[in-house]
Amino acid sequence: MSIIKYIMLLFLFLLPACATLILEPADFSWPIESVLKVNNDGLVQEQRFSFSFNARDLFLEETGDSLGYQNKDLHIIRGTKGYYFITANNFKNVYVFNAEDGKLKLNNKIVISDSTAMENPAFNQRTPYVELTYGNENVNLTNEGIKEEEEK
């Protein structure tokens, strides 16, 4: 009978060690956007956050031009949930990516305008949103799309 108690006691100590460790709350946001130059190979690098990726396919998706990345800047900000919001001057969309196994995977393509390209876009952190400012417009974004600001 006492051996059963020892086995049960052993399981009580071992089972918590098998549980997944969760550290929360966590805020992944960058306080301000990063404006990054795309180099001749299509790469962008953010030294402050040790962040880099190849942007050629993003420009090809947006512009249809395989060399559309040359001499361009990308506007990037990371929201509180860890999603990367990316756009550039003359884009019509904001691309939302999440990090997955050493790559950025498209989570959502947010259409800002079907007809007019954005001029001078900029991101701001406006928790719980990422605010996109372009021209005279301000738009609140989440990884799911455009959100109207909730009344308090």
d(CA 31, CA 5): 53
Considering only residues 8 and 38, tell me which one the structure prediction assigns the higher pLDDT.
Answer: 38
pLDDT of residue 3: 76
pLDDT of residue 48: 82
pLDDT of residue 72: 95
Q: Which residue has the tokens 């001029």?
A: 119
DSSP secondary structure of 55-117: -HHHHHHHHS-TTTTTT-EEEEEE-TTS-EEEE-TT-SEEEEEEEETTEEEEEEEEES-SS--
Q: Which residue has the tokens 């098998």?
A: 18
Average per-residue pLDDT for the chain:
88
How do residues 60-74 score in pLDDT, each as one tens digit? 999 999 899 999 999
Cβ atoms of 88 and 121 closer than 8 Å: yes
Q: What is the pTM of this model?
A: 0.81
How do residues 20-57 score in pLDDT, each as one tens digit? 777 777 778 888 889 999 999 999 998 887 889 999 99
Kindly report whether the peptide bond that precedes residue 128 is cis, defined as omega within 30 degrees of 0: yes
d(CA 108, CA 21): 28
| pLDDT tops 70 at residue 97 | yes
pLDDT of residue 17: 56
| pLDDT tops 60 at residue 1 | no
| pLDDT tops 70 at residue 114 | yes
